[in-house]
Amino acid sequence: MVNTRDVELGHLALPDADTHPGVVLIHDVWGLSDHARDLARRLAADGFAVLAVNLYRRMDEVKIENPGAWMRSLSDPEALEDVQAAVDFLAAQPETAGHGVGVVGFCMGGMYALMAAGTCRGLGAAAPFYGLLSHEHGILHDEAGLDPSKKPRAPLETVAALRCPVLAFFGDRDEFVPLSDVRALEERLEGQAQPAEVVVYPGVGHAFVNDTRPDAYRPDEAKDAWGRTVAFLNEHLRR
């Protein structure tokens, strides 16, 4: 059984008893949707204390007409501060006592999960799903340039000093994350002190875990990636 409740930082999903590793779940561009809450409950059912952080909670209005423009307008430093607050919150809960805290994210959330792995304190593992990687290609690219105060570093640049192990997932037909960026990520992860693995599914596009989108959902790859993620988080977070 999973117990859920909303807290100031987002949506908390906890297994019924005992202590468990903590996981911060970072939503995609559409915010703390029913799908994000469902993913949190699934992870809790697999034995993790999960906080699905709401990166939009301080905004008066969230009206997303152009997802790319919306993401380009967000402040990465502020988002990562929210992720850090979520990590600290989970680490302080009695339900996670004696275990580590990791981060999982999807699309925009995958980008922030990867950036958190090279930025945030207290993380034991990071599992980004089809996270955006560069400012030069894909959906984050803007010919007019990006505001350096909001986008000081591309996600690829944050992996130079990983603070925790990483397991990242992509499809090779992702329309928002070019395969060339994924290969660049693999190159940058080589030789890192922290273990890192990039899994690329052939013939798969963006958002393949999202079972609310029949156009994108790929059940076999989603099941494989989820199983790998649970094993990865258990390996690095469970004490």
The share of the chain scoring above pLDDT 90, in percent, equals: 96
pLDDT (0 to 100) of residue 136: 94
Burial class, 94, CB count within 10 angstroms (exposed 0-12 / middle 13-18 / buried 19+): exposed
pLDDT for the residue 117: 98
Selected from 3.40.50.1820, 3.30.70.20, 3.90.1530.10, 3.40.50.300, the CATH number assigned to the domain covering 2-237 reads 3.40.50.1820
User: Checking DSSP bridges between strand 22-26 and strand 49-53, what pairing results, if any?
Assistant: parallel
Given a contact cutoff of 8 angstroms between Cβ atoms, the answer to whether 174 and 207 are in contact is no
Indicate the DSSP class of residue 193.
S
Band (61; pLDDT cuts 50, 70, 90): confident
Which pLDDT tens digit goes with each residue over 178-235? 999 999 999 999 988 999 999 999 999 999 999 999 999 999 999 999 999 999 999 9
pLDDT on residue 35: 97
* Helices 76-91 & 108-117 angle (0-180, nearest 10): 70
Q: What's the pLDDT tens digit per position in 124-140?
A: 999 999 999 999 989 99
Contacts of 95 by beta carbon, 8 Å cutoff, 6+ apart:
14, 15, 19, 20, 22, 49
- The model's pTM is 0.97
